Structure 1
């Protein structure tokens, strides 16, 4: 990997599209930041979002660009609308869901970078079963966590709100 010594730029309307678990646009690749970070935008239909999962390698930062989202992390729940931000630590089970009535959009920064490549790989491979998706995710240091495998106070609940 190269050293991050020059600005990484993503002009408006540029990026690499990936149709995997919704529409993603990869805006910055780890290869362009010396591995420091990756960034993508995710368009999420109402009621959609990933299952409970955990990243071994990276922290995630989310900014809501449009819509309204619920985020669950380590037994806590928070709702954020446009302009809201949340940072989620690696090694902690989390998930999010579009809780609005229209498509929402998130900007996601992962640090260190690398996970942003997950979506183009899923788009390319087109896994058909949850087991196949989990196999690809494992290559990226991501594991899906069953809700029933967590202590009761760490299961995500829609009625938990933390400001």
Structure 2
């Protein structure tokens, strides 16, 4: 299988000489604010919105879900652990959502499937080759971006693959 053009490069911590503060500032200001929230990001002809509150450390809530991870749901967002694989791929979100992958890449790079969540449904976009998953929640007039992440664990990758095969559309 070929490589997805939308998911082609990584923004690594090494590009910032290991300075996480500079890296985080770049990710938040240039990618999250500049490319995602301040642009008119769209998916399925609807605007994509971001959960802003609570704001911690002068950063919006969704940013933490896109760049950090936590095994404990009770901790503040600002105390979650940075996930460098998420950070490296933050700039993939816009092209992943807006690209006609078959036209651009010649591939169906992302499998789209919907799963129930509480009293609603969530749309999942899964790129198995890149081990990348984007989750959105459809609202009446927009989509809410919930999270996007690199799948580290093989077991989770396999279960996501099975779920995507069952619900692909």
Q: TM-score range by the shorter chain?
A: under 0.3
TM-score using structure 1 length: 0.27
TM-score using structure 2 length: 0.27
